[in-house]
Structure 1
Amino acid sequence: MRRRQFLSSGAALLSVSLAGCGHPSVVLDMNDATADDIADEVSMATEPGSEEHAVVTSARENGSATRTGRYELFDHTTTVRVNDTFYSVSETRLRSSEVTVYEVLLDFNPEETTPELGEIEYDDLPEVDRDRLGSILSEEPRSNHDGYDVGVGYGSAEEVGNDSVFVPERQYDVLVHDGNRYRVAVDSRDATEAEYRYEVTEIAADVDTFADQIREQYLFALTDLSDAERTVVEGAIDGGYFEDGDAFQAVIERIRQHEGLNEDDFYGTWLLEYEDVEYITYAEW
């Protein structure tokens, strides 16, 4: 994770570098940009076995692919990396419908542990239930408040299949794990499910080629700086610059004259060159 990612989120990590201060009102953060860094900044890398990877490889091999889901896969970027090849992905919503989705609720400290429907040991659960609940129970959860403590999304009945003892019909209301007794409930709600079509176009066969394409479109040189502006930039390179002022705003104005990799109203990311070194530059103003 580069500095800019946690700076923009205002996360607690920032306190490590700023000795406990809150999120600064302005930020200029510059990190050396390798070809891989540039590629990571403007594309999504898919992991083998992921839904994104399966959709892109299927569309590549078959001309297109379809998927049914309750969310878009590529709502943040349409440039996807599979191994070292880069593709432009189109995601078209074809049709939608309503579907019932289920959530299994667990109460870690129930007042009443006598079952009404029945009780079951975790080890006796079907695999579909163990897979969904195992990570929650392995954390030895504890709670001091009343009611159900956590909800585990199961998806639709079609996604779950016929093996679950909780979804869509709850067969037990007490779950026993390592001697602990948990109350189990099931909640359901209506959700919109859509069918999507995917098509892909290869845009670069390797990382270097892709990075060169990005450089051609976005890279610019930051030159002719005053001494005060140079101080701002060199501070940004050496851990980040967080002080507002005329010099800071002058540097920001220079940067914002160029097209950014990502831009919003009050922050953005650019690819720039300063003294023959390329930097991925994050700014808040």
Structure 2
Amino acid sequence: MRRRQFLASGAALLSVSVAGCVHPAVVLDMDDATADDITDEVSMTPESDSEEYTLVTSARENGSATRTGRYELFDRTGTVRVEDTFYDVSETRLESSETEVFEVLIDFDPDDSTSEVGEIEYDDLPETDRQRLDIVFSEDPPTGEDGYDVGVDYGTAEEVGDESVFVPERQYDIIVDGEERYRVAVNSRTAPEAEYRYEVTEVAPDVETFANQVRTQYLFTLTDLSDAERAVVEEAIDGGYYEDDDSFRSVIDRIRAHEGVEMEDFYGTWLLEYEGVEYLTYAEW
């Protein structure tokens, strides 16, 4: 139940509202914390073919690395795990500029589905287009709105590469999917971008060493609980506690008296020990 944060590198951004499940008003969720769990909570582990991995390893080998992009890569965490070594990453903005970014618009119920530019079967789209559009076409399409129903952020022409049939130049204006025909348009706009410099410092040579560093900073022991407070904690361990009662509030006050791994106005994550077991504890109140 703990809130997880995901880097949006390379992901398509959709202008679609998605209905979600009903969320409880309050949460206390306690999960056993191994060394790997602890390090995962406060660091990121990039894939070996990712931009983050390339930058960190290049900065490690060469002293620094640079990149031009529209957003920071390490805005959510500055600690990165490569193999079993942990590095603090500094990300410094050097120069700002502007670039052209593209958005592909889809009308799922066009008034006129006659092609003016060309039509293409969805299955015949290049991989780079399907990667961005699959999330739209894998669900029931939104319809009923005037004009275009969804917009997919493609990024810059450089990010897209040479394979797209829509960006930077639209080669088709109709996608055919079975018996359905969808209209496609492309918008472009100017967006800010910047050059960034990356430098890394090794902070731990292995998982256990880094986990101990985290324990030293954040770990505390939850003790001297009343029977009612203990019942809240035991239920939080067993599957989560979701009742906004006095006992819940009392336990939350005890936890919030300590520094959290992540702390916001209405939620946070803490590393605590209870009856000899370490727990990563997520709470909303």
The verdict on a shared fold, with TM-score over 0.5 as the criterion, is yes
The 2-side partners of 1:203 and 1:47 are apart by: 20
When residues 247 and 51 of structure 1 are mapped into structure 2, their CA distance, relative to the original with a 3 A threshold, is same
Deviation at 1:259?
Answer: 1.2
The amino acid across from 1:139 in the alignment is S
Give the structure 2 partner of residue 4 of structure 1: 2
When residues 109 and 245 of structure 1 are mapped into structure 2, their CA distance, relative to the original with a 3 A threshold, is closer
1:65-76 correspondence to structure 2 within 5 Å:
65-76=65-76
Q: Which runs of 5+ in 1 are unaligned?
A: 16-21
Deviation track 1:236-262 (CA, whole Å, cap 9, x = no partner) reads 222222333443333222222221111
Percent identical pairs in the alignment equals 71
Tell me, yes or no, if the aligned pair for 2:24 and 2:242 is still in contact at 8 Å: no
Deviation at 1:112?
Answer: 1.6
Matched positions, count: 270
Q: Which runs of 5+ in 2 are unaligned?
A: 5-19
**Structure 2 length-normalised TM:** 0.83
Whether 2:241 is the aligned partner of 1:224: answer no
**Structure 1 length-normalised TM:** 0.83
Deviation at 1:132?
Answer: 4.2
Give the structure 2 partner of residue 258 of structure 1: 258
The 2-side partners of 1:124 and 1:91 are apart by: 40
Deviation track 1:192-217 (CA, whole Å, cap 9, x = no partner) reads 11111111111112111111111111
Structure possessing the higher radius of gyration over alpha carbons: 1
1:1-285 correspondence to structure 2 within 5 Å:
3-5=1-3, 12=21, 23-24=24-25, 26-121=26-121, 128-129=128-129, 132-133=132-133, 135=134, 139=138, 142-145=141-144, 146-161=146-161, 164-178=164-178, 180-285=180-285
- Residue aligned with 2:2, SS: helix
The 1-side partners of 2:142 and 2:254 are apart by: 52
Deviation track 1:72-114 (CA, whole Å, cap 9, x = no partner) reads 1111111111222211111111111111111122223322222
State the Cα RMSD in Å.
Answer: 2.7
- Residue aligned with 1:45, SS: coil
When residues 207 and 116 of structure 1 are mapped into structure 2, their CA distance, relative to the original with a 3 A threshold, is same
Tell me, yes or no, if the aligned pair for 1:108 and 1:141 is still in contact at 8 Å: no
